[in-house]
Amino acid sequence: MNQHFSTIDVSIDPAGVASVTLAREAVMNAFDETMIAELTQAYTQLSEAPHVRVVLLRSNGRAFCAGADLQWMQRASRNGPGENLEDAKRFAAMMQAIRLCKKPTLARVQGHAFGGGAGLCAASDIVIASDDACFSVSEARFGILPAVIGPYLVEAVGQRQARRLALTGTRLSAREAVEIGLIHQAVPPERLDQAVERTVAELRTNGPQALREIKAFFDEIGDYRMTPAHHDLAARTIARVRATSEAKEGFAAFFDKRPPAWLAASSDTGRGERG
């Protein structure tokens, strides 16, 4: 990516791991209209970039993300109804770009993840945090509600937990966030990067097309329902995917006791880039 951003940094390493770094450290990486636009653009482009294997969301400074910049929210509240609605739709589009990214998405969390910051966690496929991080769905404290992040929060933790978090604004420890499913792993701060790198390595071991198919399949089935249509979908999907060239290469590599072609390809064709 050659795009220049002012509120985020984007880099792609030779292995195809794209790092999207929130870079508004002075305001605890709270997002405003500029960051919203830049995150939307970055995730949309990375989703389609053929050499990108994983998208890692991280941040500079002591906080992951304090949520929405209150100055931005105050500005938006002064707009007319039409402009206010369009601003909110842009926020919703950002969350959707993260949630529907075709590449595996991983969030590395340190410090606070409040309001929309907790929403970024809920919208990511995998979240690893330092065990001293804390989380809060804090919108009600400012007289608003977590409407945009609500669907992602419900998907992550369920309706009743999401309702509790939104109503109380309670702060969760990293351990509590793991217990309810908001994040997947909490590790000591000095082991955070190691844990992230281990998960990235696991993702890169797997077929890139298979990972894309997995995300699309689980989105389509949603909460599993035992219906003939879902059984048929499952059968048709695996029949189609196991006939692909990637699947055939995966089987051949296993029997030949060698790495599959996509591992070699990511090392040979990956390019280090910065946006």
Q: Which tens digits make up the pLDDT trace of 239-261? A: 888 788 988 888 788 888 898 99
- Which residue, 28, 6, 8, is CA-closest to 18? 8
pLDDT-derived band at 2, boundaries 50, 70, 90: low
The one-letter amino acid at 106:
L
Q: Is the pLDDT of residue 275 over 70?
A: no
139 is catalytic: yes
User: Could you tell me the residue range of the domain that residue 223 belongs to?
Assistant: 208-259
Q: Are residues 197 and 255 in the same domain?
A: no
Of 38, 139, 213, 246, catalytic: 139
pLDDT-derived band at 262, boundaries 50, 70, 90: confident
263/269 Cα distance (integer angstroms): 10
Judging by beta carbons within 10 Å of its beta carbon (0-12, 13-18, 19+), is residue 95 exposed, middle or buried? Answer: buried
Q: Are residues 199 and 212 in the same domain?
A: no
Per-residue pLDDT tens over the stretch 52-71: 999 999 999 999 999 988 88
pLDDT-derived band at 268, boundaries 50, 70, 90: low
In angstroms, the Cα distances linking 76 to 37, 97, 119, 182, 273 are: 15, 21, 19, 28, 34
Residue 116, domain CATH:
3.90.226.10
Residue with tokens 């050659």: 2
Q: Are residues 237 and 133 in the same domain?
A: no
Q: Is the pLDDT of residue 188 over 80?
A: yes
Q: Are residues 152 and 237 in the same domain?
A: no
Rounded to 5°, the CA angle 205-206-210 comes to: 165
239 found inside a domain: yes
In angstroms, the Cα distances linking 215 to 162, 174, 204 are: 23, 26, 15
Q: Are residues 113 and 233 in the same domain?
A: no
Q: What is the pTM of this model?
A: 0.89
Number of domains the chain is built from: 2
Q: In this structure, what are the phi and psi dihedrals at residue 52, rounded to the nearest 5 degrees?
A: -90, 130
192/61 Cα distance (integer angstroms): 14
Q: Is the pLDDT of residue 274 over 60?
A: no
